[in-house]
Amino acid sequence: MTNQLCIVLDFGGQYNQLIARRVRECGVYCEIKKFDTPIEEIKALNPAGIIFTGGPNSVYDETSPHISKEIFELGIPVLGICYGCQLMAYTLGGTVSTCVTSEYGKTEIKSDSSCAVFKGVPEQNTVWMSHTDYISQIPEGFSITATSKDCPCAAMACPEKKLYAVQFHPEVTHSEYGKEILRNFLFEVCDFTGDWKMDNFIEETVAKLREKIGDKKVVLGLSGGVDSSVAAGLLSRAVGKQLTCVFVDQGLMRKDEGDFVEETFTRLFDMNFVRVNCQKQFLEKLKGVTDPEQKRKIIGTEFYKVFWDKVREEAEGGFFAQGTIYPDRIESGKGNASGKGSTATIKTHHNMVEMPKDITFDGIIEPLGDLFKDEVRQVGEKLGIPHELVWRQPFPGPGLGVRIIGEITEEKVKILQEADAVFRDEIKKSGIESELKQFFAVLPDVKTVGVMGDHRTYDHLIAIRAVTTDDFMTADWARIPYDVLAKVSNRLCNEVEHVNRVVYDITSKPPGTVEWE
């Protein structure tokens, strides 16, 4: 079965992935395409609805992304958002002007509930605006369906042609009825059936994987992170023992994490699970190395060396699978200085690993390539992967290697693992875990003087880090209550050997980063 498709045409705005995610949350399969995708290609995809995103530009700017009038003549419903709204007006003969007062932030609008997209939305409601241009004259055949104090056209529509446009951003949560407005467009205007469900996704993907793989083998590098774990779960359901997961444990994971990953995958899934324990080998390579970038490089290089060696030994041939997800593959529609977005960069493929020349596969399989992170998590839950793993915090590839400042030794790894486990345990017990996006301990390789009983001590300092953030591009340090900090500090000094002092990192990002190295 093929799902009905909604296309989000990307004009380079900042909320483009968010629009697609919101559409998918409504049970409608949605793909993001660049604004200059040829009309023929769009027609061939047969979408039941198209959404134009916002963009950073003015429609009169020559380098701005534009679109051919033809798109409005296909009979496919279109919803224009922000720049997309202005572009619809401009392309169809309306006028766009610069605002006397640009609108930014929460804004009251008056909308017309007899317009399909405002069905069930109270006349007076709050939306999120962010624009300096506005539609001063709507195109022929359109009517104004919402206004605000400073914007005579906060929304417009031409129901006969199924064209709708809103100056505000229904996709952000600050728009009080944004979800309803998107739902109305999808279900009242486009007649989507809402056939995009994760249960169907699992069934269909498993069937497709079986057909593609046949009786061949598949190898997957398992890191214990969300994406590779869910990919492993799906592949195991599809082809069982034909799948080999290679799990390289470099000895720089959190306390007991390697065992947890092994226990989980061998208990839950039918597959060949190969764990390579190589802490000694890694520590040997890292001996005497203190420079953060060099440490990262060594850990990365060594990781793939071990991984490919194991693949040669255990699982050469067949297919190579990886946990790439949709945001890794999306091309941005952002324009560039020289023209109309023709050289927009493709996001770095963080999952892509360079394959050694002597290893050949029949092909690459990316079973999660169409999913957003929250959908990957839903699939993981449905496959029975433990909550702890599916909702795991981000953990850097080089592991504790970038949380031990200076040279990495076995003893320091042990101290940090213990300290981190105590900190995590105390946060769990405190009931504030869900408020924190990421929290961990750091070993700054600093020794300080302390006193224990009658003895002077000279031992390690532990730093604790906890942040709140939406996207990790910026972050704030979490205001952990003092009594929780007090318990953490007490337990770290009393329970973790070689720790006699604790500090709390109160640096936001920027200027700091989340990790210390």
Q: Which residues contribute to the site for ligand XMP (CB under 6 A)?
A: 394, 396-398, 438, 472, 509, 513-515
* CB nearer to ligand XMP: pick between 159 and 397: 397
What is the smallest separation between the CB atom of 397 and ligand XMP, expressed in angstroms?
A: 4
Tell me the C-alpha distance between 425 and 414, whole Å.
17
Q: Catalytic pick from 171, 302, 366, 375?
A: 171
What is the smallest separation between the CB atom of 402 and ligand XMP, expressed in angstroms?
A: 6
Identify whether 169 is a catalytic site residue. yes
Tell me the C-alpha distance between 166 and 157, whole Å.
9
* CB nearer to ligand XMP: pick between 157 and 299: 299
Q: Catalytic pick from 6, 30, 82, 245?
A: 82
- DSSP-based three-state secondary structure for 237: helix
What is the smallest separation between the CB atom of 269 and ligand XMP, expressed in angstroms?
A: 24
Q: Catalytic pick from 115, 169, 366, 375?
A: 169
Cβ-based neighbour number of residue 380 at 10 Å? 25
Q: Among residues 215, 204, 242, 378, which one has the least CA distance to residue 321?
A: 242
DSSP secondary structure letter of residue 118? G
What is the smallest separation between the CB atom of 517 and ligand XMP, expressed in angstroms?
A: 8
Could you list the beta-strand ranges (E) of 218-372. Answer: 218-222, 243-249, 272-277, 319-321, 363-365
Measure Cα distances from 227 to 322, 325, 389 in Å.
8, 7, 10
Cβ-based neighbour number of residue 140 at 10 Å? 9
What is the smallest separation between the CB atom of 438 and ligand XMP, expressed in angstroms?
A: 5
What is the smallest separation between the CB atom of 290 and ligand XMP, expressed in angstroms?
A: 17
Identify whether 190 is a catalytic site residue. no
Residue 328 contacts residue 192 (beta carbons within 8 Å): no
Tell me the C-alpha distance between 445 and 462, whole Å.
9
- DSSP-based three-state secondary structure for 267: helix
What own/partner pairs with CB < 8 Å and gap ≥ 24 does 341-344 have? 341/12, 341/34, 341/35, 341/36, 341/65, 342/36, 344/12, 344/34
Tell me the C-alpha distance between 516 and 412, whole Å.
16
For the four alpha carbons of 296, 301, 304 and 309, in that order, the dihedral sign comes to: negative
Tell me the C-alpha distance between 220 and 365, whole Å.
9
What is the smallest separation between the CB atom of 299 and ligand XMP, expressed in angstroms?
A: 9
* CB nearer to ligand XMP: pick between 231 and 239: 231
DSSP secondary structure letter of residue 138? P
What own/partner pairs with CB < 8 Å and gap ≥ 24 does 267-272 have? 268/233, 268/384, 268/385, 269/232, 269/233, 269/236, 269/237, 270/236, 270/240, 270/241, 271/232, 271/235, 271/236, 271/240, 271/241, 271/243, 271/244, 271/245, 272/241, 272/243, 272/244, 272/245, 272/314, 272/315
Tell me the C-alpha distance between 109 and 98, whole Å.
19
- DSSP-based three-state secondary structure for 12: coil
* CB nearer to ligand XMP: pick between 19 and 299: 299
Tell me the C-alpha distance between 61 and 151, whole Å.
21
* CB nearer to ligand XMP: pick between 318 and 398: 398
User: Which single residue is written with the structure tokens 């609805």?
Assistant: 49
* CB nearer to ligand XMP: pick between 246 and 467: 467
* CB nearer to ligand XMP: pick between 197 and 297: 297
Helix (H) or strand (E) holding 132: strand 124-137
Identify whether 171 is a catalytic site residue. yes
What is the smallest separation between the CB atom of 471 and ligand XMP, expressed in angstroms?
A: 9
**Dihedral angle of Cα 75, 77, 78, 79, to the nearest 10 degrees:** 160
* CB nearer to ligand XMP: pick between 101 and 513: 513
* CB nearer to ligand XMP: pick between 350 and 429: 350
What is the smallest separation between the CB atom of 466 and ligand XMP, expressed in angstroms?
A: 12
Catalytic residue set: 82, 169, 171
